[in-house]
A and B are shown apart, each in its own frame.
Chain A
Amino acid sequence: MPTLDPVIWFFVFGLVAGAARADLRLPAAIYDFVSTLLLLAIGLKGGVELARDGGGLPLAELGGILLLGFLVPLPVFAVARHLGRLGRADAASFAAHYGSVSVATYAVVIAYLSTRGVAFEGRAPVWVVLLEVPAIVAGILLARGLSGEIAWGRLLRELFLGRSIVLLLGGLAIGWAAGPGGTASIQPLFFDLFKGILALFLLEMGLIAAAQLPTLRRHGPFIVAFGLLAPPALAVLGALLGRALGLSEGGMTVLATLAASASYIAAPAAIRTAVPEANPALPLTAALAVTFPFNIIVGIPLYERLAGALAG
């Protein structure tokens, strides 16, 4: 196993410091700033690559990835309902969280691949955008059926205008408009400092994950089992789709990682208001305290091997 990237140690540091209840906390405004920089940097990078390639997003890829977003919730729902013996609302909430994606995990996988010099499709940030919303919609449908109780118009508007989607799309558009030569002036802040920003962000993520530990102790076994077993299983789906779409090995790794990741920002907020009877702590704890650490420490190298094996 390759040595751990320093940014991952920042996460571990935050986790340990948080668990020890150290007096350590990034102010909320700093967390917002750091995550804004991260999202914009990811978008900008993708936009520049899109401009360099010249090509857009193949239609099959668009459809395949949207379909992945809608379909991942189904097995998650079935497992949570039958093996986890959760109620319908809680199982649907798990389905939404695990079908949707984590931008932090994406940031770690692209940092990992870049460090190792593995190429991947520059349009990968578009996949993040495509995968964020469908699973949340599917999760709400699984909980509510097609009954008219949900104000879909407002809900979808809030989902599509959520912070991460808006910042990613804004970054993509600016990067694309500026092109490869045009971003030199903002290069130092957004690209050169990327890993430093990611390190700070992961420190805060560690603290946030540590705050979930009490819930983990209370609802332990299912959350831990699910949080560890779901990611590799879902990664296989992502990698297989990547192969079917003819992605590069790096691209398959990214798509596998996205499929394996679980949302802890967009999904909890949407599910909290649309499916109020679901216990918000269960999937959030699984996503933050189990799946996220698993993915960034163990999962990503594993998914890279999986992609390598599939690429033959």
Chain B
Amino acid sequence: MEHFQRRLLTIVTEAVLERELLAEFDALGVRGYTITDARGKGGRGRRQSDWAQEGNIRVEVVCDGPLAERVAARLRERFYDHYAMILFMQDVSVLRPDKF
């Protein structure tokens, strides 16, 4: 079966940012994403998911390389200074290139 290379962009950030993040995705042309509740520990302390107020979310986007870079640059510019946010990318293989 033929495989196609895409980028998987994973963002872990404050749940309160969800709407803002999705607005940015729309503006940048991201076509799909998956959001899950998350908890963990990082530079800004331990974050739990049992109280929506303080929870984290993990957002995953599969898209082509240039778009992943644009999203990363935009989020970095807009959110890195003041919010708990990490972001990382990896190569993934997909079966339906037209979908991503």
Which residues of A sit under 8 angstroms from B52, Cβ to Cβ?
A: 28, 32
CB <8 Å contact, B53 and A31: no
Taking CB atoms and an 8 Å cut-off, the chain A residues in 180-212 that contact chain B are 208, 211
Which residues of B sit under 8 angstroms from A269, Cβ to Cβ?
A: 16, 53
For residue A29, which residue of chain B has the nearest CB?
Answer: B50
CA distance in complex: A211, B14 (Å): 17
Most buried by A among B14, B50, B52: B50
For the residues of A in contact with B, the DSSP-based class is helix
Which residues of A sit under 8 angstroms from B82, Cβ to Cβ?
A: 276-277
CB <8 Å contact, B49 and A28: yes
Q: B53: which of A25, A26, A214, A264 is its contact (CB, 8 Å)?
A: A264
Closest chain A CB from B81 CB (angstroms): 8
The contact string, 1 if C-beta is below 8 Å from chain A, for chain B 32-57, is: 00000000000001001111111000
CA distance in complex: A31, B20 (Å): 25
For residue B48, which residue of chain A has the nearest CB?
Answer: A211
Which residues of A sit under 8 angstroms from B14, Cβ to Cβ?
A: 272
Chain B's interface size range is: 10 to 19
For residue B15, which residue of chain A has the nearest CB?
Answer: A269
CB <8 Å contact, B50 and A25: yes
Asked if B83 lies at the interface with its beta carbon under 8 angstroms from chain A, I say yes
How many A-B residue pairs have C-beta atoms within 8 angstroms? Tell me: 35
A interface residues (Cβ-Cβ under 8 A, vs B): 25-28, 31-32, 158, 208, 211, 214, 264-265, 268-269, 272-273, 276-277, 284
CB <8 Å contact, B51 and A273: no
Closest chain A CB from B41 CB (angstroms): 12
Asked if B28 lies at the interface with its beta carbon under 8 angstroms from chain A, I say no
Asked if B17 lies at the interface with its beta carbon under 8 angstroms from chain A, I say yes
Q: B17: which of A26, A211, A214, A273 is its contact (CB, 8 Å)?
A: A273
CB <8 Å contact, B50 and A27: yes
Taking CB atoms and an 8 Å cut-off, the chain B residues in 45-74 that contact chain A are 45, 48-54
Which residues of B sit under 8 angstroms from A265, Cβ to Cβ?
A: 53
Q: B51: which of A28, A214, A276 is its contact (CB, 8 Å)?
A: A28
Closest chain B CB from A122 CB (angstroms): 30
Which residues of A sit under 8 angstroms from B19, Cβ to Cβ?
A: 158, 273
For residue B49, which residue of chain A has the nearest CB?
Answer: A28
Closest chain A CB from B84 CB (angstroms): 10
CB <8 Å contact, B20 and A273: yes
Nearest first, the 4 closest Cβ-Cβ pairs linking A and B are A276-B82, A272-B16, A28-B50, A277-B82
